[in-house]
Amino acid sequence: MTKGVVADTGPLIGLARVDKLDLLRLLYRSVVVPPAVREELGIESGYPGAQVLSAAFAERWITVQSSQGLVIATELAGSLDPGEAEAIALAEERAARFLLIDDAKGRRFARQRGIPVVGVAGVLLAAKPAGILAAVAPVLRDLSSAGYRLSSPLTSGVLSQAGE
């Protein structure tokens, strides 16, 4: 179908909390999420990042699309949370450019289905050479301070790849 980006909940919340959600719009123009991810985002909650997420939906560069792959989502639902299961089903159905997901188990299931995966770190690494981010390290620090978990080996590797 289309080669857009499909996203899971975690990366969207993480980027929104550190006011870097717009990196996705600048790099990929649009993002699609399934209904379960939209619900998990808690946009009406008042949590940090909720207003940024709400604005992205209002501006329609993040949109909601249901998957027709209910069998896939149901099959995965026993092992993954609803957002991850629906995001994988939608990414597979749309032949997405990639699935934006950081959860290790979700990434493993997506890869087993042949879906390319990228996490927040990959977005940051794409933003620097595109001239959208001057440095990756401050964003990694902000994510950590906001409670977004990225392992030390991953952080070190990202900083090395970014030349920082």
Place of tokens 């042949």: 114
pLDDT value at residue 99: 97
Q: Is 17 exposed, middle or buried (0-12, 13-18, 19+ CB in 10 A)?
A: buried
- For the CA atoms of the chain, what is the radius of gyration? 15
Structure-model confidence comparison of residues 70 and 24, the more confident one: 24
Record the pTM. Answer: 0.92
Measure CA 56 to chain center: 14
1 pLDDT band (50/70/90 cuts)? very low
For residue 101, give the DSSP letter.
Answer: -
- Residue 62 in this model has a pLDDT that exceeds 60: yes
Question: pLDDT per residue over 89-146, tens digit each?
Answer: 999 999 999 999 999 999 999 999 999 999 999 999 999 999 999 999 999 999 999 9
